[in-house]
Every structure is written in structure tokens, then in C-alpha cells.
Amino acid sequence: MAATPKNRNRKYEAVEKMLTEQRDELSARMNGRMGEVYIDREPDDEAALATDSVTKDMAAATLERERRTLQEIEGALKRIKTGEYGVCGSCGEPIPEARLKALPWARVCVGCAEKRSSGLAVD
Ligand SMILES: [Zn+2]
């Protein structure tokens, strides 16, 4: 068993596995939703048409939210591969493990996230 690279960072192996699973699950769910949003039905009256349009809007909004989450997950997976995962993208400090548990695709530490959401310039 000499095939295991010694310098491979195994610290985030569990996170990588979990994120990969989440990504696959999310993609599958999104593929199902695409059908809801884009299939053209032929409602036979105005009311049905309106209901159909609301359903589509909701599905589209959910799809948009899921698309963003998927992007975050893919970004995190990329950072695990490049070794940037778990490091704050703003101040360069390590992101505490508790935060990564709560938000596995966190890009910045709590301090920087707070500065950002309060509207203060970070960079
Ligand atoms: Zn930071």
C-alpha cells in the first residue's frame, strides 16, 4: 500500500466526502426541479394558468437558491484540493472548526463575515 501520497492533507477528508455527497444530492434535486420550471403545460383556463405560473416562480426561486449553494459547495471542494480550505479569504487566519461545522463552505472567518454584513469595508 505505497500509493498513498504522504503530503496529501487528510484533515478535511470527511468534509470533502460530505460536501461531495451534498453536491450530488443537490444536483439530482435540481435536475428534478428543472422539469417543474421548464416543462410547458397546457392549462385549460386562466386560473390554472395563474396557479401554474406561481408554482413555476416558486420553483425558479428555489432553484436559484440551490444553484448558489451548489456554487458554494463546489468552491469549498476546490479549496480543499488547493489547500486553501479552512483559511479566511479575507484576513488569512484559520477559520475555527466550529464555524466550518456550522457552515462547511465558509470562505471567511466570523470576524470578517461580521464586518462584511455590517457594511464596513474589509479590504
Ligand atoms: Zn478573517
CA of 86 to the centre of ligand 1 (A): 11
**CB half-sphere exposure, 49, CA atoms < 13 A:** 4
Q: How confident is the model at residue 96 (pLDDT cuts 50, 70, 90)?
A: very high
CATH pick for 1-85 out of 3.40.50.11900, 1.10.1240.10, 1.20.120.910, 3.90.730.10: 1.20.120.910
Of 9, 16, 10, give the one whose Cα is nearest residue 104: 16
Of 78, 73, 113, give the one whose Cα is nearest residue 93: 113
Residue 75: other Cβ atoms inside 10 A? 16
Of 73, 110, 78, give the one whose Cα is nearest residue 122: 110
pLDDT of residue 52: 81
23: which 3 cell numbers? 453536491
CA of 97 to the centre of ligand 1 (A): 14
CA of 40 to the centre of ligand 1 (A): 47
CA of 95 to the centre of ligand 1 (A): 7
Residue 21: other Cβ atoms inside 10 A? 11
State pTM to two decimals: 0.73
Residue ranges of the chain that CATH labels 1.20.120.910: 1-85
Residue 37 reports pLDDT greater than 90? no
